[in-house]
Structure 1
């Protein structure tokens, strides 16, 4: 972080005037103060520059003037190490973001600058569900799988906050769908969010990845929750009912051990554990796996019939 500018006591009234003008969006007063020698990069006690203030207040015209007069997009505040672009992301101000990115002097600098916790503006956009903002950042070479200090990607934040539109945007930009050994799909199963489960599965999430700590796959977790709808969905997309967790248990054994009362998942797991998949289903799963999640959206380029393309894309019955 750059050293904060030291303001003289005689400069305080001038600084206060321009900050008030920025907050109000008074472009003429801002211009006067800049002519008198105030710079856009002086930082207050919280480390805020005039760019931070204009960005958080959505003062687009004022921001343009500040940038034209040497405003620096890479400066971070002392609250959380956030840049003006981070604050634009919080509020979903895409027009403000375009200005900041257009005036950014260093290629890919502001768009990938991390806060004190390692959050890029894309992390912030994902957390708040700003899908169009996320798309703009990615168009400007934001790193789609950047890691925070806790090892969290923007996709994981979007999953935790159940920001469906952001999840779709990040997946379109090839975010790692199986980050942390399949965290996104497991989280969707844990939350019984079947629509996001289906989205991830259609995009090629690996349905058989187990957690590092206990080896529980999504099918194990759906059995623990007695979520028969999730069980059926996972099986359709290739879940293996014979996979064992670190305790040596299959999903069926987990379902049996939970209760003596008849459970909805139990009967389904008994059926699929004792019945092999059809050759047709196996072929679909093998082809999709060979294509890989980053190329599934190109299935329609295969030299196959329309019916076969739809079958590979799980479009029947929709």
Structure 2
């Protein structure tokens, strides 16, 4: 005879719960038709496990239930240091009398010999969400991680697997996330206090986890873009925009800040450029009346400021506290920004007043030769429009852009021609200014301003104010 009893399970699964008494039940059946069987249960780790009945008697063709107990509550599952798991050893012996006291059973199994059968060896596995969560948190420190993880997951319900996706995603481990999803975890939980799982994946920084969630149909909300922008992860923003056309690059959070505000405040110039290229509005205000330029100026981020000034004309915008970007930069001691945020204004003024010496001084102080005013005019636009040929020469000598266009689409050459400044127009052409945007008819003779009184550059309020001064 090979054995006297048979277990109803091949493996005992103990559902572990932190700081609680844990136990699990299994059954043993007597295979003998006419004789009772004595049973003795032990484990490979008696300090950790105990039984409700370590010794028992099973009548012929009957079954008995046994409970394996974890000796002491613990805040983490006491996993073995090596694979395989701890096991239950089942010893059995025929009991012709069918009766024996506890001491008699102890003596029976204390004597080795052919009367004692080693009927079963049953592995013990810790299962349940508390085990999985512990494994995720200690992943790099546990030998045989995959073995224990797969066992533990088998004891989790669908809702528990879904909730376990939270720490798995946060860990940034793509294999763990895939395993939980394959086991039944839902990538779109109905209720989550941390936003969509995709937001959590972005905050983990793992592009592989993000790709897995996207492939599994994970839904997205616009806030995920702010997370990726704050982390300066252009690759994540790119994959999100490509896979979710509904994402709005101009979506504002509860403070009214868009991804461009976030990029500017954090000094992420490449992210800033990416968001603008994807359709982001660099001129939008948040709830405090701050533009992205305000955000960059307060923090002293030079390169983002340069990028914003190339595509935005909000240098003169005041926030709800009446402060411009220049004011914020000055208050916070970012003196290197001041030439870009206001000294360029002095450059425009010098160009308008034909102050070549002042122009040179401003440029020496670091003023941006191609800085723009609120209408998109550069100093060269201003000097050309006013016919200030000496200032035009100074600006050209300092690499002013010839064919830069204002908000109405006019270059400095257009301004010179339509204001009737022939010598300035000829000088610009001699330096390579292109004449293929608008007709230059009348360049050889003065052009009447009346013919161009409806020109947008001539009807700007700022232009009229400067004309009067």
Q: Same fold (TM over 0.5)?
A: yes
Q: Match of 2:288? A: 150
- Say if 1:62 and 1:278 are closer, same or farther in 2 by CA, change over 3 A: closer
Q: Match of 1:176? A: 314
Is residue 165–residue 177 contact of structure 2 (8 Å, CA) maintained in 1? yes
SS across alignment from 1:47: coil
1:59 alignment partner, one of 206, 212, 221 = 206
Correspondence 1:187 to 2:328: yes
- Say if 1:198 and 1:29 are closer, same or farther in 2 by CA, change over 3 A: same
Q: How far 1:279 moved relative to its partner?
A: 5.4
| Distance across 2 between alignment mates of 1:140 and 1:297 | 30
Is residue 131–residue 169 contact of structure 1 (8 Å, CA) maintained in 2? yes
2:232 alignment partner, one of 92, 95, 104 = 92
Is residue 135–residue 169 contact of structure 1 (8 Å, CA) maintained in 2? yes
Is residue 155–residue 175 contact of structure 1 (8 Å, CA) maintained in 2? no
| Distance across 2 between alignment mates of 1:54 and 1:192 | 37
More strand by share: 2
- Say if 1:93 and 1:35 are closer, same or farther in 2 by CA, change over 3 A: same
Structure 2: tracts of 5 or more residues without a match:
1-155, 363-369, 400-469
SS across alignment from 1:147: coil
Is residue 201–residue 237 contact of structure 1 (8 Å, CA) maintained in 2? no
Is residue 196–residue 221 contact of structure 2 (8 Å, CA) maintained in 1? no
Q: How does 1:261-300 map to 2 (within 5 A)?
A: 280=356, 294-296=376-378
State how many pairs are aligned.
228
Q: Which has the higher contact order (CA 8 A, sep 6+)?
A: 1
Is residue 158–residue 167 contact of structure 1 (8 Å, CA) maintained in 2? yes
Q: Match of 1:165? A: 303
- Say if 1:292 and 1:52 are closer, same or farther in 2 by CA, change over 3 A: closer
TM-score normalized with structure 1 length: 0.59
Find the structure with the greater CA-based Rg: 2
Q: How does 1:1-318 map to 2 (within 5 A)?
A: 10-42=157-189, 45-75=192-222, 83-106=223-246, 109-180=247-318, 183-191=324-332, 193-201=334-342, 204=344, 207=345, 234=346, 238=349, 280=356, 294-296=376-378, 311-312=394-395, 315=398
Is residue 89–residue 125 contact of structure 1 (8 Å, CA) maintained in 2? yes
| Distance across 1 between alignment mates of 2:282 and 2:213 | 29
TM-score normalized with structure 2 length: 0.41
| Distance across 1 between alignment mates of 2:372 and 2:271 | 33
| Distance across 1 between alignment mates of 2:355 and 2:380 | 23
Q: How far 1:159 moved relative to its partner?
A: 0.9
Q: CA RMSD in A?
A: 4.0
Q: Deviations over 1:84-127 (max 9, x none)?
A: 11111222111111111111222xx4311111111111111111
Q: Match of 1:216? A: none
Q: Match of 1:255? A: none
| Distance across 2 between alignment mates of 1:171 and 1:110 | 23
Q: Match of 1:226? A: none
Is residue 316–residue 374 contact of structure 2 (8 Å, CA) maintained in 1? no
| Distance across 1 between alignment mates of 2:279 and 2:185 | 33
- Say if 1:291 and 1:13 are closer, same or farther in 2 by CA, change over 3 A: closer
Is residue 74–residue 110 contact of structure 1 (8 Å, CA) maintained in 2? no
